[in-house]
Amino acid sequence: MSGDRPGIDTAIYGFLRRIPTGVLWLIVLVWSLPTLGLAINSFRTRDNQRGSGWWNVWNDGGLTLENYDVVFSASTTAGLKESLLNSFAIAIPATVIPIAIAAFAAYAFAWIDFKGRKWLFIATVSLLAIPLQVALIPLLRLYNFGSHWTIPFLEKTVTLIPDFDLVNTTTAVWLTHTGFALPFAIFLLHNYISELPKDLFEAARIDGADHFTIFWRLVLPLSIPVLAAFAIFQFLWTWNDFLIANTMAGTNPDAIATTIRIANLAGDFGRNEHLLPAAAFVQAFFPLVVFFALQRFFVRGILAGSVKG
């Protein structure tokens, strides 16, 4: 191996150096294949989808917008527009409200001293492990009847939460999402907020700022990347949720979410499964918009100049 002159070995080494980047793009390629197949199939007829793989699209003799037509116009369960509106009415409050509540709590767990906060934090985050199915029936009863408790031995029933007649409304759906989102939201936000540089807080305290001001003026602006990250996930989880929307408001045609509409489009025994690729893209459109819109908040250097001591 002669080191001085550029030869075949240098070329190979140069190639090897690019392997990590190559691996990245290889993963990206593999990741995109199923989605690509879905995208192509969404433009193919039922018999073509069933008869040959999507890479044979060249032999189909043209693409069709028929699937999208059906997805846009189907109206038996709900119209597209109505169901989109309902999904927004669920997903927006279900994203914004947990962010606020979790940010308060994460700040308290990170920067306010009180007895037992470590254990209270662990207890709160542990609730992540609860399978949300267990809460469906109790919550449905809550929205339906309110919450009443008969005190043991005294035989007196007390009303803990009155019946606000929320069942079958989008409000019931986003309230449910709010509760389920909090453990993860607190966990994620706390991880970020607790690592903000201590000096900032001490300086602010010396200036006489109270917790409310610190939270509002200091913590929220500095936490924008993590708030954006959580907002992305929470939006698309609630947007794509079927179980909760169906349980809490599935029998009210005025509150049908897009996921329910699409599940019904598939038909009995998956008779119309050929519509699902098109439907999946319509469904994924808004989460992607949210992702692209919020991605610009993941920027380097928001904490520039404040190295953790």
Partner 1 sequence: MKSSFPKLLALLFAFTLIAAACGDDGGDTSTGTDTTTSAVADQGITITVTGPERDESEAGAISEVLGAWGDEQGIEVIYLGSADWEAEINVQVEGGNPPDISIFPQPGKLADFARDGHVVPLNDAAAAATAENWSEAWNVFGDVDGVQYGVPVKADLKSLVWYQPARFAANGYEVPETFDEFTALVDQIAADGNRPLCVGIESGQATGWPFTDWVEDMVLRQHGAEVYDQWVEHEIPFNDERIVSTMQTVLDLWTQDNVFASSGSIAATAFQDNGQPLVDGNCFMHRQASFFSAFMPEGTTFGDGEGEVNVFYFPDINGDRPVLGAGTLAAGFNDNDATMALLAYLSTPDYAEARQVSQATRKGGGATLSGFLSAAIGQDPSVYQPLEQSFLNVLETAAIVRFDGSDLMPADVGAGTFWTEGTSAVNGDLTAAEAAARIEASWPQ
Partner 2 sequence: MQGAILTGEDLSKILSTLILITVAVGASAVLWIGTNVLFNQVRSSWIRFNALAGYAVGFLLLLLLQGNRLLKPHGPDSDSITRLGELLWTPILGGFIFSALAVILANNDDKVQRLWIASGSGLVLGGFIGVRIAEHARPELEILPLLLSTIIFGGVGAGIALLRGNKPIQAALFGGALGWLIGGFGIPELGDGSALESAVAAAVPALAIGAQIGLSANADVVGRARIDAKSRGWIFLVPALFFVTVSLIAPTLITIWLSLKDQDSVDFVWFENYGSVFTDINSFDVGNWTNIFTSSLFLLGALIGLAGLAIGLVLRKRTGDGFAAGGPAFAPLMVAVVMIVFGVLSVLRGTIMNNLWWVFTVTVFSTGLGLAIAVLADRAKLESVAKSIIFMPMAISLVGASIIWRLVYVARDTSKSQTGLMNAVWVELGRWSTGSGIPTVLGTLLVWVLVALGAAAIGRSLASRTYDKVPLRVLATAVLIWIAYRFTFNGIGGFRTNSAGETVPDTIFFVQNQPFNNVWLMVILIWIQTGFAMVIMSAAIKAVPTELIEAAKVDGATESQVFWRVTLPQIRTTIGVVVTTLIVLVMKVYDIVKVVTNGNFGSQVLANDMFEEAFLFSNTGVGAALAAILFFSVLPVMVLNIRRMQREA
Q: Write out the binding residues for partner 2, residues 153-172 only, by CB under 8 A.
A: 154, 156, 159, 161, 170-171
Do 177 and 283 touch, CB atoms closer than 8 A? no
Half-sphere exposure of 131 (CA within 13 A, CB side): 3
Task: Output the six-digit token pair for 291.
Answer: 């992702």
Q: How far is the CB of 143 from partner 1 (least distance, A)?
A: 8
Local structure of 157: helix, strand or coil: strand
The piece of 60-68, 199-207, 270-278 that touches partner 2 (CB under 8 A) is: 270-278
Smaller CB separation from partner 1, 18 or 141:
141
CB of 257 to partner 1, least distance (A): 12
Q: Which of 2, 21, 59, 157 binds partner 1 (CB under 8 A)?
A: 157
* Residue (of 42, 35, 91, 16) closest to 286 by Cα position: 91
Task: Pick from 5, 58, 62, 73 the residue near partner 2 by CB under 8 A.
Answer: 73
Using the rule CB under 8 A, which residue among 21, 61, 157, 269 binds partner 2?
21
Q: Which is nearer to partner 1, 42 or 168 (CB)?
A: 168
250 binding partner 1? (CB under 8 A): yes
d(CA 47, CA 309): 64
Using DSSP's 3-state secondary structure scheme, residue 164 falls into: coil
Q: Does 46 bind partner 1 (CB under 8 A)?
A: yes
Q: How far apart are CA 96 and CA 192, in angstroms?
A: 18
* 115-144: contacts with partner 1 (CB under 8 A): 136-137, 139-141, 144
161: left (phi over 0), alpha (psi -120 to 50) or beta: beta
Give all strands (DSSP E) within the chain, no chain letters: 147-150, 157-161
Residue 79 lies near partner 1 (rule: CB under 8 A): no
Please state, in angstroms and rounded to a whole number, the distance separating the CA atoms of residues 76 and 78: 6
For tokens 């007649």, the residue is 165
Residues that bind partner 1 (CB under 8 A): 46-47, 50-51, 70, 74, 76-77, 136-137, 139-141, 144-146, 148, 151, 154, 156-160, 162-165, 167-168, 242, 246-247, 250-251, 253, 256, 260, 263-272
